[in-house]
C-alpha cells in the first residue's frame, strides 16, 4: 500500500478526516496536491478499506465488524466501458455504488463496476450471462495477467473496452475479440505496446432491469 494511503487509513480510523477539504487532508499527510489526495482516497475506497459519505463529509475506516455485520457489499461504479468501438474514455471517478448481496458475490478488495455500452459482447458468456448495453460488469482489478479466453477490461490509448482475450504466443500477438450478433473485426495488439494494458478480469454481469414490466 502507498505510504500516503496508510496515513489516510490511520486518520480515517479516528475520524480525523471528517469535514475536511482535500487540501486540508493533504496538509495532514504532507501532500500538497489535492488531486493526489483524491486519488489515494479513491484507491482506499475501491479496496473496501474506507467508506466516504460525500454529502455529510464523513470518511471512516471500514472495520472487520462492519464487514461481517452487513449482508450487502458495496462495489464502486467507475464509469462506462465500450462493448463496441473503443470510444468511451477510461475514468477513475466514482459515480455511485452497486449494492449486491454477499450471497451472490464474494467480497474482496479490488472489485469495481462499469456500465456496458454497445452490443459487441451480446453473445459472450460470463457465469452463463451475456453482456448487453446497459448491463453492469464486475471487474476484479487484481487479475491483470489474463489467460487466453478470459474476458478482460482493456485500456487502449486511454480508452477502455471489454473483450475476450486470445494470447497468440507463436505470432507474438494479442487478439481482443468481440462476441456479438454483429460481425466485428478483432483488435490486434503487439504484446509490448505501451499504450495498451489489462485493467482487470470480468468476473460477473449484473443484468439491467426491465423497468417497463409486463409481458413481452
pLDDT, residue 88, reads 66
pLDDT, residue 210, reads 59
Write out the three cell numbers for 125.
458468456
Q: Is residue 38 within 8 Å of 4, Cβ to Cβ?
A: no
Counting as low any pLDDT under 70, the low residues of the chain are 63-70, 84-93, 210-216
Write out the three cell numbers for 211.
423497468
- Name the residue ranges covered by the structural domains of the chain: 3-65, 70-206
pLDDT, residue 47, reads 75
Instruction: Tell me the per-residue pLDDT of 117-157, one tens digit each, with 9 for 90 and over.
Output: 998 999 999 989 999 999 999 999 888 889 999 999 988 88
Write out the three cell numbers for 110.
479490488
Separation between Cα atoms, residue 96 and residue 111, nearest integer Å: 14
Separation between Cα atoms, residue 154 and residue 158, nearest integer Å: 9
Separation between Cα atoms, residue 200 and residue 185, nearest integer Å: 22
Q: Is residue 170 within 8 Å of 140, Cβ to Cβ?
A: no
pLDDT, residue 86, reads 66
Q: Kindly report the CA angle at 142 between 160 and 70, in degrees rounded to 5?
A: 105
Q: Please return the burial class of 74, using the count of CB atoms within 10 Å of its CB with bins 0-12, 13-18 and 19+.
A: middle
CATH topology identical between 3-65 and 70-206 = no
Residues 6+ positions from 161 with CB-CB distance below 8 Å: 81, 82, 83, 84, 86, 88, 153, 154, 176, 187
CATH assignment of 3-65? 1.10.10.10
Write out the three cell numbers for 146.
489474463
pLDDT, residue 80, reads 85
pLDDT, residue 109, reads 76
Q: Which of these CATH numbers, 2.10.109.10, 3.30.2310.20, 3.40.50.720, 2.60.40.10, describes 70-206?
A: 2.10.109.10
Q: Is residue 116 within 8 Å of 131, Cβ to Cβ?
A: yes
Separation between Cα atoms, residue 118 and residue 83, nearest integer Å: 5
Segment holding 39, helix H or strand E: helix 34-46
pLDDT, residue 213, reads 46
Amino acid at each position: 500500500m502507498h505510504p500516503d494511503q496508510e496515513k489516510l487509513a490511520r486518520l480515517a480510523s479516528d475520524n480525523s478526516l471528517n469535514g475536511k477539504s482535500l487540501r486540508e487532508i493533504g496538509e495532514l499527510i504532507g501532500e500538497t496536491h489535492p488531486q493526489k489526495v483524491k486519488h489515494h482516497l479513491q484507491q482506499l475506497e475501491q479496496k473496501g478499506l474506507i467508506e466516504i459519505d460525500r454529502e455529510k463529509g464523513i470518511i471512516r475506516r471500514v472495520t472487520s465488524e462492519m464487514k461481517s455485520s452487513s449482508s450487502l457489499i458495496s462495489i464502486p461504479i467507475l464509469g462506462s466501458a465500450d462493448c463496441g468501438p473503443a470510444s468511451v474514455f477510461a475514468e477513475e471517478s466514482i459515480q455511485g455504488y452497486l449494492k449486491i448481496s454477499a450471497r451472490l458475490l464474494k467480497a474482496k478488495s479490488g472489485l469495481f463496476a462499469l456500465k456496458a455500452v454497445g452490443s459487441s459482447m451480446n453473445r459472450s458468456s460470463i457465469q452463463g450471462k451475456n453482456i448487453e448495453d446497459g448491463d453492469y460488469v464486475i471487474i476484479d482489478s487484481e487479475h491483470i495477467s489474463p489467460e487466453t479466453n478470459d474476458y478482460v477490461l482493456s485500456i487502449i490509448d486511454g480508452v477502455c473496452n471489454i473483450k475476450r482475450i486470445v494470447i497468440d504466443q507463436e505470432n507474438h500477438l494479442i487478439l481482443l475479440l468481440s462476441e456479438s450478433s454483429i460481425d466485428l473485426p478483432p483488435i490486434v495488439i503487439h504484446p509490448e505496446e505501451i499504450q495498451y494494458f489489462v485493467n482487470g478480469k470480468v468476473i460477473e454481469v449484473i443484468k439491467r432491469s426491465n423497468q417497463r414490466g409486463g409481458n413481452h
